[in-house]
Structure 1
Amino acid sequence: MMVCATFDSPRFTKSSSLFRNALVSNTTSFVMANLSRSEEARQKGNESFAKRDFRTALTWYKKSENHNPNDYRAPWNTSAVYFELGQYISVIDNTAKVLGFSLASEVKHKVLVRKAKSHLYLCQLDDAKRTIDEMSECDEKTLLASAIQSSLILRSSHDEHQRINGPGHGIRSLPHYKAQIDSVLQYIGYRHDSAQSMIDVLLSHNVEDSGQISLLLGGIGDARHFFQTLRIIYTLSFQQAPERNYHFTINDLKPEVLARDMIFFILIDQLATALPLGQKSMDPSTVPTVPTVRQTLITLFYTYTGQVMPPTTFDHLQKTIQLAIDGLNGKAPLPRWIRLNTRDAGPIVSALCSWRDEVPLSHAVPDFIEITKRIHAQKDMAFTTRGGRPMEERVAEHLKIECRDYSQSCLLLPPKYGMDPELKKLLDLPHSQSRSSQLRTYIEENWKINPTLIDVNYVKQGSNLSEIGHQPFEFERQMYDRCVWLRPKDPKILFDYAVPFFTHAARAVSAVGGRLVVEVLTGDITRVLEGIDKNLLHERDPSFPTKYDRIHLSNIPDYVGGSLFNCIYALPLLKDKPSSFASSMCLRNPQLFSSQAAYDNEYTTLPSESSIKNILKVETKLMSTKEDALMKTFQEPPARLPFAAMEYFAFLPAAQNLHLQDMASRATLEKWLYQVFIKIALPAQQPVSDPNHPDLVFAPLNLTAFFRILEITHRNGYPAHWLADLLTTILSNRVQTTARPPRTCPLSISESQKNFPPKFTDLSPFMAEIRTLAALWLGEDIGFGLASAVLLPTPSKIRSFSIRFSDVGKHGVIKTPVFTLLFADRKCLDGILAPPSGSDGAYNIRKSLLSDEKKEKGNVPEAFRKNSAVVTTWKWEMKESMGTFWMDEQVVEMWMKDDWVVSILRQDEWKLCVPPMNVLDAVVGGEYWVREG
């Protein structure tokens, strides 16, 4: 018989007690083990954090929290890692978790401070305010409250400015460059680079069959790259290629360029309509006998390549000009594939009207011939001096006679079906001086000028008409050396090369039909690119692309900031595809740079490919063809050519998912940002100042560029608190840095690499402008906010001011953006310009503005530096001889009260262009950025 123990039996009670004791003991052991593991993991996390190995630190902190979820320290440590990484949303999540624990007051205070700062860096002002409301009264709370209040004022001022003025009229509407006094830029109707297609196999394979290919051409020029791209589309059209949509955004600063292209587009559209369907021959002798086709091809040829043209061609050109004017004025239809808004149409119409009315009456064929001969002689001499041969020796054998006749009379031969019998008789004469003379007389008496080569405004400003002196016999090489398989068969005259070039483009227009859009945008390329990126072009069709497969920029960067321009403006518009890139070339002064790295260093101050990749998230690759930018070669790479021999190079987005510890260190980034700021503010003195001199390096960026650089740097993944602290340091004029103002031009790589001893850099002359700009930029949101208050003007006190200058003087007549406004105490400036007798002569203005060891020594330069202000962001109106700028009203009132003067300062020669004028008399106040109340 089995006897069972009951619940109240001594045996069960003893067993139960033993079980409970064992359970408690085991649980205690388990808990203690977990606590030990948690603490061990947290300590390992701390060790990794101290080494800035943040990925490993996060792993250990997560393990620590898993082992002991009741300890606030693991999520608190985790929030510290995320703060260092700039991942402020994760900081907020973890600090919120920490605040769920019962915390000592001093711990809670630290948690709230970190959480509040994270909200501020994210520009979450209301959340930041709610966070500090939980804090006890203390100095830190007061400082944070002040930062929040300052940010709220700047934000509300921005909103009010937008409400009154509308979108697109904020801080980004201010000038992007320093001013230039001769404001009418040179007009170049004919380009000099080889025509390249923007579409290739690599791009085609990275687009869906029914997708859209979006391409942007800045500095479109004579549209040769556009036409070459159409030719590739044409070849694809009969290879059973997918029926994709094609969007081209084309831009040029000069409306005359786009007016000329508009003529080409209308003629191409007429050609597309008139060409018989199905013909694909490359043989120029097979041009259809349709009169419209023949006349259109002749007009395209002479308008595109020639200085002069037959009278019938001139008449057809004038009819086409009138068609363009009527189309742009809404009186007649434009080709359906052309899109542009009313704002962009106006300047183009003005140029077209000048070619219809003014230019034919004010310029004659003999002048065009003589100018062209002179320019070609100069070019041939320069070419032969460098070991080359003159054009007559370089052209193909079948073009030599035509080239010889052209050199005397600007005659380009028409096809036989367009030949005037009288001209044919002259051409049949034996070659002699008499024949050449008769040909020239015939051309002068019967032919007409090509009016599209003239910019009347540029001529009125003093042009020597050098822009008409292009060499048409470069057409053969430039249009075909990138597409040899599309060359004409058995060409006889230069015209024969134009036939397939334009007919292929026309057939592409016909084949693509309604799937082609060409969007025309006039004006500064920086405004176009940023306008698309920030949605500031409010007349633009919202269905148009905001991201592009390829961006072609010609040599625009030579004039607007080089490599840095590409990084700031072009890269953000590229699609996230391996085939996407922006391309540009150095055409202005390649002889100054020993390598691509040297070129990039001048404009970015980054001395190596790795530093550019780490900081700007950009890779630059040399290209002989665009495929070089995308395809890795598995053979030994060829030796690099001298930079002068290079052509286009591509800017590609580098990997965007790099962990912070794989990027540049904080010290490296800060040194670079200080160096860029100082280089913009105090560019090196140029060895030459002639705008046409090949040794001149443009340094056009004003201080608005620095805020765009901060924006891009933040977009590239660098923490907001790094950038906010640096900006606060600049605005407080407390910069201690190993960077120095540039001492070489172009900037040498060794100078960029050098770390000078840390030294205070006095930025006093730039404080007035940078604080004014900061008040406006921070209100608009550059991607991050400040967590500490700095002394900035209230936007309602920021005002537009104007100055009328009576005489710019010989130092101001120049077409480079190097001009700034210099304000200074009269006595201090006099001390610089006219030092006391017995001194070594006049002080150098640039060195007097410096504060490093290369500065001008003595009390006079020191007083000048403390009592001067340079304004880089201002607008010049040439017709009115007036400069305008925005500034803190209280600063200008101080200048007026303290007897300050103003002048225009060139930052290449570092000389004044006008006699200093009293600020009190010369400066006139205008509108406020925002109106109070």
Structure 2
Amino acid sequence: MPEGAPILKEKGNVLFKAGKMADAAQLYAKAEKADQNDPVYPSNLSAALFEVGDYAGCVNAVLRSWKLLRSRLDKKPDLILRLSIRLAKALCHGFRSGAISADAVHANPSTSSNVASTEELAHVWQEWKQMRPELADREAKARASLANFSRLPILIKNLDPTREYYSIGQDEFINILEGWGPSEPFPMKLDALPVSRLSSLAFFYGGVGDARHTYATVVGLHRAFRALSKPKQTRFRAHITLNDVHPAVLARDLCILMLLNELIESKNSTEAQIEIKAALMYTFAGVVMPSYCYDRLHRVIRDLHARLSETPVRLPAWLHVVSDSIPVLLETIDYWALRINKPTWRTLQEHSNMSHREQRRSSEASVLPGMAPGFANMIAGREDAQRASISKTLTSLSDSQLREMQFVPPGTSMKDAREFIKDNHDMLVDFMLERMRDGDNASLEEEWYDEIKVFLPPPELRKRHPGFEDAFKRMKKGDELSDATRNKLDDHIEKEWKTNVTLFDLKNCDPRWGWGNDNGYPLLRLDVFAPIGMVEQFNNHLHLGGKAPKEAEDRAFRSCAVFFDAVADAIKGLSGRLTLEILVGGLSEELAKMKFGADQARPSEFPREFTRMWLSNVPDYVHGPMNMALYVVPSLQNEPEAAAACNCLLNTGAWNNDDEFTHNYTLLHPDDISRYLGCRIVRKEAIMDIFSLAPLSLPRPLAGLASREELVAWLTRILLNTLVPGRGKPRPHNVRMPHSVSTLFRLLIHLHRVGFPGHWLSEFVGRVLSGSLVTDIAPYRALYPIPLSDFTRRVPRRRVRLDPWQAEFENIVAVGYYGFPFPVSLPPDFAREASDIGVYEAVVHETRIFKNASMFDDSPFEPISNLLFYRANPSNIIQSIPSVLEGRATPAPGTFFILTTQEFMDYRTRIRWRMSKRRVEKMKEEKWSMVAFRTDTNDQATIPVPVSKWVYMGSGDA
């Protein structure tokens, strides 16, 4: 016998009280169906639907209940009151989220009644009244608001904006179709994809560096393309975006790409091809180069300047430079073309070749002090595994294999050889382990390089270099070079060879800025044959051009010539089907603009979602997996092959384990990532291998997400740790946590997309903006990384003071107000239009020069800058910020404000920031001032600048 409506309702009530709203809604719906005359049942259903975030369903249920109530004599005023409040809330949330259209609002009847008003009723209907003017142009306003929001600064800035310049990479080549490198397979079979997918292949390289992975992927794409059927080849299109925050990196890549274009166009001239390939090799991996290679490079640099200065830009059909990137690229190109003067002799004086063994030992020595105990255990565990593998190999060698071992003298019997292995087992394991780490003995060209400091030109061009052939022959015989021969070679190199100008950038090598050697030169102690070895490895993996023996006299040239020939052939073979896009900018910033439609400088047909993304170790600098989940994963196509991956290089020794790595940045256990952030971890072995995330279909079922209590606790932890952060250790264990307050609001938008109900998020924001947040969570104030144990740490509940950050909350909310997918209840004095926010700038002077020294914690190149606006003594305020957050009454609310982000920061020259125009006018009346300070040491970084010296630069919606 079917259950009656009252029983179904009671069962639903039990589930509702247990927090199982979706299950309760099902029972309430059955109750309404069983008794369609009682307004209580649709009312109950509306409550459950509201709680799960089904605002359109909630509105419809309220209206059904309302219709029944209007025909009854007993009006049930309490029920009417609840329905009216619920209807106003559902309308606000449904309209803001897009679940309820303007047409649906206009189509519904009025629900006015004579029920006695309450404060809550008046408040929620006032919110809906304020929102109704948006009905006419909701979508347009939301798009414009989100586009402006995406341009807000995401990361806390360094005091000094100068960036490190890494010109030559050290990673193994990655063909992204195969995975994340030789030891990290994640194959993507193009021939197995639906034909429709072959026209939307898009790959993104963040922190692209010397573009080695791009070149490898182009070769891989060409090979995969040739294996496709003709119908599939017809549909094939691939787009690769090369992104880096440093314009010199991409300017250097452009030079190599244009040299490749010359190679493509010079297929009928053997001598020209050899010269171009030599220029490619010396530009890609060399410190100095022959004058004829330099001439080719310099012509390319000048030609690039001309091409990028034209309107429209004149580039090969397969190459596109985003227009917004051109000005900063031209600054570097101009520097290389006109202003750089780096004598060859001085460059070589600064340069030395570091062998693989030296580099490994130097790296190990730098990591040891302050190394996390867990990381030390991982190193030991990996070494134990390697030793066990070698031991097993030694004891299982066949007779033929044993005869080939160099420690077995010719003619030795197998019995004696095996006895020798048994007696010297540990010594042999040590020997083989060392050989495995350090590689084979140096090649002939490496020995040449250690003496002469230049790669050997190819035989076809060697006659242009007096004395080279004779000297190399002597070295092959093992003869020492005479002083006269050395002088002849040195004289020739000094006069006829030139510095590889692409190793220098505008500021990185300026002695004033603290990077490089403080003498105008970058750090040039390099393992120059590491890139050559990786080129060889890639060539051999794909069987490109035969195997170049390591003992070849022109090993570097032969390997690079084969490789760049393959790249040129691939570009030519994919003509009309391949686009390489050059995009200068921060990874998070550029992806945010793509997501919210603010990347107007990119052609509309360019992809905004990507098949795969390799980020190098950029996440080390931009808040790790949390940044990936917010900005990278939403930019992936929702396909089984889609994923984004990175490695950890900046602070490898800082971590005890991979779980700690994930938790430090996300404040979540890895197992909970999908429950909160709506994506999945593919690989979490960031410390020793890679970290990889992949998308999930969104929105997720609410039952599979974190509970409301869990969500609010997590958001509170993120907020408090952003406002009052911990401290990083000295390099090389420095963990960077640069997410600013604006990132919290980006997270809230993302969480709505994941599937969390809008009213959960709206109410949390309301408590933050109103200063009514009460919590038992406290920020982590010790040295990073944040241990997993901090997740459960609690303190006595208290109301935290958030008024110091009200000005920044206002900046963010005013710019993004119409784009938030949930209502935001604003304090009475808050701006709600981006045009109410101004951009201001001040000339500043440092209190002292902060040094970039690894043994001290006052580097200006860390993301630790905040701005303080005040009327009282700034140093007293800076020191008291943690206690103010905890509720300290002084300084009084409204007497100081803090900004975690700025539009531009250089503590020696100028600072630019956003602030409400109204607030600034009030500050002028009260004679406020501004200083920059460090959040790690609480040091004041700039001399105070009075408000009278602030310059209005324009509106915040520009």
Q: What is the DSSP-based 3-state SS (H/G/I as helix, E as strand, rest coil) of the residue aligned with 2:648? A: coil
- 8 Å contact 2:168–2:209 — kept in the other structure? yes
Alignment check: 8 A CA contact 1:132 1:145 kept: no
Indicate yes or no: 2:456 matched with 1:413: yes
Give the alignment of 1:532-547 within 5 angstroms.
532-547=594-609
Structure 1 position 561, deviation (Å): 1.7
Shift of 1:233: 2.0
Distance in 1 between residues matched to 2:138 and 2:69, nearest whole Å: 41
Q: In structure 2, what is the equivalent of residue 373 of structure 1?
A: 352
Whether the 8 Å CA contact 2:4–2:31 is kept in 1: the answer is: yes
How far apart, CA to CA, are the structure 2 residues paired with 1:321 and 1:893?
49
Structure 1's 730 and 366: CA in aligned 2 closer, same or farther, altered over 3 A?
A: same
The answer to whether the 8 Å contact 1:75/1:94 transfers is yes
**Looking at CA atoms only, which structure, 1 or 2, has the larger radius of gyration?**
1
Which position in structure 2 is the counterpart of 1:478?
A: 534
Deviation at 1:749, TM superposition (A): 0.8
Question: Which of 678, 682, 685 is the aligned partner of 1:617?
Answer: 678
Residues in 2 aligned to 1:112 and 1:480: alpha-carbon distance in whole angstroms:
72
* Equivalence for 1:355: 336
- Residue pair 2:845, 2:943 contacting (<8 A) in 1 also: no
Answer whether contact 2:866 2:900 (CA < 8 A) is retained: yes
CA distances 1:726-748 after superposition (whole Å, capped 9, x unpaired):
00000011111232111331111
Instruction: Name the CA shift for 1:684/1:206 in 2 (closer, same or farther; >3 Å).
Output: farther
* Alpha-carbon contact 2:681-2:694 (below 8 Å) kept: yes
What does residue 65 of structure 2 align with?
98
- 1:344-743 equivalences under 5 Å are 344-359=325-340, 362-373=341-352, 379=359, 382-383=362-363, 385=365, 394=438, 396-397=440-441, 399-419=442-462, 420-422=464-466, 423-429=468-474, 430-432=479-481, 434=483, 438-460=488-510, 461-462=512-513, 463=515, 464=517, 465-479=521-535, 481=537, 484-486=540-542, 488-491=546-549, 492=552, 493-606=555-668, 608-622=669-683, 644=687, 646-654=688-696, 656=698, 658-688=700-730, 693-743=731-781
Q: State the Cα deviation string for residues 295-351 of structure 1 (Å, max 9, x = none).
A: 221111111000011111111112222332232233884211012243322322332
For residues 238 and 650 of structure 1, the distance between their equivalents in structure 2, rounded to whole angstroms, comes to: 29
Match of 1:651, SS state, is strand
Distance 1:846 1:408, change over 3 A: farther
Quick one: percent identity of the two aligned structures? 21
Query: What's the secondary structure of 1:42's corresponding residue?
Result: helix
Aligned counterpart, 2:379? none
Return the match for 2:886 from 851, 857, 882.
Answer: 851
Is the 2:617–2:649 contact (alpha carbons within 8 Å) kept by the matching residues of 1? yes
Does the 8 Å contact 2:839/2:952 carry over to 1?
yes
Residues in 1 aligned to 2:529 and 2:294: alpha-carbon distance in whole angstroms: 21
TM value normalised by structure 1: 0.83
Q: Which residue does 2:249 correspond to in 1?
A: 257
Measured against aligned partners, the alpha-carbon deviations of 1:421-452 in whole angstroms (never above 9, x if no partner) come to 51212222323473556544432232111111
Seen in structure 2, the aligned counterparts of structure 1 residues 610 and 800 have a Cα distance that, compared at 3 Å, is: same
| 1:793 aligned residue (817, 824, 831) | 831
Deviation per CA, 1:452-486, whole angstroms, max 9, x where unpaired? 11102333343433354442200234335467422
**Cα 1:147/1:665, change in 2 over 3 Å:** same
Correspondent of 2:258 among 262, 266, 279: 266
Give me the whole-angstrom Cα distance separating, in 2, the residues matched to 1:474 and 1:353: 30
Q: How does 1:326-337 map to 2 (within 5 A)?
A: 326-330=306-310, 333-337=314-318
Q: Distance in 1 between matches of 2:901 and 2:132?
A: 25
Contact kept in structure 1, 2:539 and 2:563, CA below 8 Å: no
When residues 519 and 929 of structure 1 are mapped into structure 2, their CA distance, relative to the original with a 3 A threshold, is closer
The CA deviation at 1:133 is 6.8
Q: C-alpha separation between the residues in 1 aligned to 2:364 and 2:700?
A: 51
Q: Which residue number in structure 1 is paired with residue 802 of structure 2?
A: 763
* Contact 2:287–2:499, Cα closer than 8 Å, also in 1: yes
Work out the CA distance in 2 between the residues paired with 1:529 and 1:661.
30
Give the letter for the 1:448 counterpart: K
1:186–1:534 distance in 2 versus 1, CA, 3 Å = same
2-structure distance, mates of 1:351, 1:265: 16
Q: Deviations over 1:665-715 (max 9, x none)?
A: 111100110111111111113344xxxx21222222221111101011111
AA matched with 1:121: H
**How far apart are residue 268 of structure 1 and its match?**
1.9
Deviation of residue 43 (structure 1)? 1.6
Determine if the alignment matches structure 1 residue 176 to structure 2 residue 176.
Answer: no
Q: Which amino acid aligns with 2:713?
A: K
Equivalence map 1:296-307=2 (5 Å): 296-307=276-287
In the TM superposition, residue 354 of structure 1 has moved relative to its aligned partner by 1.9
**1:818-833 → structure 2 map (5 Å cutoff):** 818-827=864-873, 829=874, 831=876
Counterpart position of 1:212 = 200
Structure 1 residue 144: Cα displacement: 2.1
User: What's the counterpart of residue 383 of structure 2?
Assistant: none
* Equivalent pair of 1:222/1:257 in contact (CA under 8 Å): yes
Q: Could you tell me which runs of 5 or more consecutive residues in structure 1 were left unpaired when the two chains were aligned.
A: 1-32, 277-288, 624-639, 834-843, 853-858
Of the three residues 51, 66, 77, the one matched with 2:18 is 51
Cross-structure match for 1:191: 169
Q: For the residues of structure 2 that align with 1:367 and 1:392, how far apart are their CA atoms?
A: 35
Q: Is the 8 Å Cα contact of residues 252 and 521 (structure 1) preserved in structure 2?
A: yes
Aligned residue for 1:822, secondary structure, equals strand
In terms of mean alpha carbon deviation, does 47-56 or 482-491 score higher? 482-491
SS at match of 1:577: coil
Cα distance in 2, alignment partners of residues 392 and 450 from structure 1: 32
* Cα deviation code 1:483-521 (max 9, x no counterpart): 742254143112222122211111111211111111222
The verdict on how the C-alpha distance between 1:108 and 1:44 changes in structure 2, with shifts beyond 3 A counting, is: same
Within the candidate set 290, 307, 317, 2:270 is matched to 290
CA RMSD between the two structures:
3.4
Q: Secondary structure at the match of 2:897?
A: strand
Q: Conserved in 1, the CA contact under 8 Å of 2:88 and 2:125? A: no
Task: Say how many residue pairs are matched.
Answer: 837
Distance 2:867 2:635 in 1: 33
Aligned to 2:68, the other structure's residue is in SS state coil
Pick aligned residue for 1:112 from 69, 84, 91: 84
8 A Cα contact 1:253 1:525, kept in partner: yes
Aligned partner of residue 563 in structure 1, secondary structure: helix
- SS at structure 2 position matched to 1:587: coil
In the alignment, what sits opposite 2:853? none
Larger mean Cα displacement after TM superposition, 380-389 or 717-726: 380-389
Calculate the TM-score normalised by the size of structure 2.
0.81
- Looking at structure 2, the residues matched to 400 and 524 of structure 1 have their Cα atoms a distance apart, in angstroms, of 40
Partner letter of residue 222 of structure 1? Answer: D
CA contact (8 A) 1:187 1:467 kept: no
Q: CA 1:765 to 1:92, structure 2 compared with 1: closer, same or farther past 3 Å?
A: same
CA shift digits 1:568-624 (9 cap, x unpaired): 111111111111011112110011112222112111111x1222120001222338x
Q: What SS does the corresponding residue of 1:680 show, helix, strand or coil? A: helix
